[in-house]
Amino acid sequence: MPARLIDSLATTGPLADLFSDRSLLQAMLDFEAALARAEARVGIVPVDAADAIRAAAKAENFDAAEMARGVLRGGTPGIPIAKALTAKVKAADPDAARWVHWGATSQDVADTAMILLLKRAQPILVGDLSRLEKALDQLSERHRNTVMLGRTLLQAAPPVTFGLKAAGWLAAIRRSRMWLDDAFQDALILQFGGASGTLAALGEKGFEAGRAMAKELGLGFPDAPWHAHRDRLAALVAACGVLTGVLGKMARDISLLAQGEVAEAAEPAGDERGGSSTMPQKRNPIASALTLAAANRVPGLVAAFLSGMVQEHERGVGGWQAEWPTIAGVIESTGLAIASMAEAASGLEVDAEQMRANIEATGGTVFAEKASMLLAAKLGRETARQIVSEAARRSEEEGRTLKEVLGEIPEVARALGGRALRDLETPEKYLGTAEEMRKRLLVSEGREDSKPRKR
């Protein structure tokens, strides 16, 4: 993994590579090359000069460490990148050097470079999301009839199916992915405004050059520069925060199901995954742990970005300068959570027998609601509640099932009959609309009307 050791639990290999010094440096150089080519196309810069700038704009031609020192001194990456590129072009073509960075400002470089990295990050996230969604769809179908305890406030409750639980995870992920797709679509736009955001240095050709540049880079072209308006990026960062929270909920569920005393599910093992340095028997839910760590980390990063949105006039001081590590941290953490849950879902081991055994271990008390509802129809709600409450207490104290205790109560036997008592603790007979809900969740496209958002 090309990540620093300190970041190794906060990113994936592909995303660490994407946000590496070399990759970011190349994105800034891509801006400068596209700027020159676009301006040559509209007759501002000589074509030969644009060609010379493009030839020099290769990351391997520059020292990233030296560039970083220049960024710290200048307070912006645009200054050292323009200076270094100008020197490189001048060495090969002195006449072309004066056209480097023509009409742009330093924030144009910084913002567009980050947008280019986000554009390249999107397919990485989408690829892992697709893998995760496919795995959850298959899990839900495979376990549509696998009954398990419902759990409310971490306490045993009437049964659900694991298929429904997996479908719930999937539907929430799809909803979050829809918001993320929209946010990416809005955010992937060029930043190009020059000194005060009017492109005055380019005269009447500013818009023409900007459109040509956006086309060169495969980005959208906004109505105006967005130097001090960070709402689009904020929406993307927030969408990542929501998605990471959704994945964290799934990770929390899996890690609880994997507890030794529950033992209903286990993450895939192998290749030293989930091992312990001191306890060879352990099988730790590492994918869930990494996802939960991301879900803990991202909200603070989202808040940091939002707090920097209050920027001054046409270009702010301190707000956008804080964004690079924040955005990178959000995308990398989100990507790690997606990839981790995709791995967990693809190889998740579900113990259907243990799930049923855990239902049976409650002695039928999780069916107290069912008994109360059946009796209420014949004896009245308050009488039914008192009878079932007392029966549940006796069941736990005497180590007998709820239906055994209820069967000894004459008025219960008369009201329900033998068959109703026999079926009282059959999980499959108290699932309500679980299967219908599961099917509806699986076909959901993320929005209730399943229609694309008007833009």
CB atoms within 10 A of CB 150: 18
DSSP 236-259: HHHHHHHHHHHHHHHHHHHHHHTS
Among 54, 144, 315, 438, the active-site one is: 315
Half-sphere exposure of 142 (CA within 13 A, CB side): 15
Left if phi > 0, otherwise alpha if psi is -120 to 50, otherwise beta: which for 203? left
SS3 285: coil
* Cα(253)–Cα(31) distance, integer angstroms: 44
* Cα(131)–Cα(148) distance, integer angstroms: 25
Q: Which two tokens stand for residue 78?
A: 């645009």
Q: Which two tokens stand for residue 272?
A: 């030293």
List alpha helices for 188-230, DSSP H. 206-217
Specify whether the CB–CB gap between 426 and 356 falls below 8 A: no
Residue with tokens 């090309």, as numbered in its chain: 2
Residue at 131: amino acid letter: R
* Cα(144)–Cα(146) distance, integer angstroms: 6
Specify whether the CB–CB gap between 170 and 441 falls below 8 A: yes
Q: Which element (helix H / strand E) includes 265?
A: strand 265-266
Q: State yes or no: is 140 an active-site residue.
A: no
Among 8, 130, 276, 307, the active-site one is: 276
Buried b (16+ CB within 10 A) or exposed e, 354-373: bbbebbeebbbbbbbebbbe
Specify whether the CB–CB gap between 86 and 49 falls below 8 A: no
Q: What is the torsion angle, in degrees rounded to the nearest 10, for the CA atoms of residue 336, residue 339, residue 340 and residue 344?
A: 170
Q: State yes or no: is 276 an active-site residue.
A: yes
Residue whose C-alpha is closest to residue 355's, from 265, 431, 434, 264 = 264
SS3 144: coil
* Cα(59)–Cα(21) distance, integer angstroms: 9
SS3 156: strand
Q: Which two tokens stand for residue 59?
A: 């990351």
Residue with tokens 């929406």, as numbered in its chain: 235
SS3 149: strand
Q: Which two tokens stand for residue 386?
A: 């008192």
Residue at 412: amino acid letter: V
**Which residues belong to the active site?**
276, 315
